[in-house]
Amino acid sequence: MDITAVINKNDKAKIWTAHFILALGGLFIGTGEFAAMGLLPNIAQTFHINIPTAGYLISIYACGVIVGSPLLAIIGANMERKKLLCILIILVIIGNGTSALASNFTIEAIARFISGLPHGAYYGTAGLVAANLVPPHQRTQAIGRVMLGLAAANLVGVPLVTWMGQLWGWQSTFYLISFGGLLLLFLFPFTIPTIQPNHNISPLQEISALNSKQVWLTLATAAIGFGGMFAVYSYITPTLLYVTHQTELQVPIFLALWGMGMVIGNIIGAWMADKSLIKTIIGLLIWNAVFLALFSFIAHSPLLVLICLLLIGTGFALVPALQASLMDLAPKAQILASAMNHSAFNLANAIGAWAGGVVISIGLGWSSIGIVGSALAICGLVIFMFSIMILKKSNN
């Protein structure tokens, strides 16, 4: 029997089960996104390229997200949500399976692009499904539970697959993610409710609903402000190896601390955002700017780096907060707005990886990525404050 026949907003067990399975999808997809960052030296060695060149795979994945998020959200606007989620997971399986089988860097780049296509549409759709199952005043926490999967990817998934990659080759990471996708295809029909789209809103209406300066300024806040975190995360493994002087086997411990910070920040930040959305976003951007800058000055100390990475990770709470903000700003384009939120965060991924690669390539050293990251967070704060100023003027 379809779970939809019995699920309701008072059936907490089935709601939490649905949230858990949606978050599990976030875990696998997030692991696929971030795994390449922890395995850059291994991938570079396989394809006989340098690490900054291998870092382009991060930007290529991000470009897949940027292209796929709005495109798939528009195509799937009138599609039943569970069916749309299954199609997106099939793309995840194809992309990551091809990544594992790639025989050269060109094929690997194409595979990473394909892997990125369903990313934003999945998180956007899953977040809306999760929010649809709870009362309005709990929606950011519901979105946060889905994003908890992405945070958990950095606590459990990335350290695990980094360790696997070191033992059995980086390709094993993408085989595992493909298997996870197959598991989700089996679980979705039994756990995710059937939610029909709003047929009163066409794909063209979704696009036109984005004719808002506030939407674009919020997306710019995500793209620039969160780029700081990716400037550091994209090159964290070589920085730990060559500056902090840790061994490859110790790197997963540092990645796990970062992931723990993301989980903590996601839980607390989502709760704070439901209480005061604007103040939470401002506070998180300032928080990121401070601790990203601090990273550059303490990168030689293993203990201080552990603490700093934990605190930087908590800044991940910006993701559900900005997604909730976009849902408010584009009520008639919630799937597209939510998906584009992840496009923006992956544009942040591309910007951060590029900016970090530039300062490393010109000889400023691995630890300089923290200063670059802080500068991007400050720019994001300026953009967001500008959007608030415009909003106040329009309301007067």
Structure confidence at residue 199 as a pLDDT band (50, 70, 90):
low
Full set of structural domains in the chain with CATH:
3-395 (1.20.1250.20)
Q: Mean of the pLDDT values across residues 20-41? A: 84
Instruction: Give the amino acid at 357.
Output: G
Tell me the residue ranges of DSSP E strands in 52-188. Answer: none
Q: Give residue-wise pLDDT tens across range 209-256.
A: 677 788 889 899 999 998 888 888 888 888 888 898 888 778 878 878
- Between helices 318-329 and 213-220, what is the axis angle to 10°? 170
Question: Phi first, then psi: what are they for 170, rounded to 5°?
Answer: -65, -20
Q: Is the pTM of this model over 0.85?
A: no
Residue with structure tokens 């603490």? 307
Q: Contact at 8 Å (CB) between 295 and 254?
A: no
Structure confidence at residue 203 as a pLDDT band (50, 70, 90):
low
Share of the chain above pLDDT 70, in %: 92
Q: How far apart are CA 30 and CA 279, in angstroms?
A: 27
| pLDDT above 70 (res 206) | no
How far, in whole angstroms, is CA 29 from its chain's centroid? 9
Q: Contact at 8 Å (CB) between 129 and 6?
A: no
pLDDT of residue 350: 78
Q: Give residue-wise pLDDT tens across range 48-93.
A: 888 778 878 887 888 888 888 888 877 877 788 888 899 999 999 9
SS (H, E, C) 21-40: HHHHHHHHHHHHHHHHHHCH
Which range is most confident: 16-25, 105-114, 123-132?
Answer: 105-114
> What tokens appear for 284 in the block?
């998180």
Q: Of 351, 71, 147, give the one whose Cα is nearest residue 230.
A: 351
Structure confidence at residue 4 as a pLDDT band (50, 70, 90):
very low
Distance, first Cα to last Cα, the chain: 53
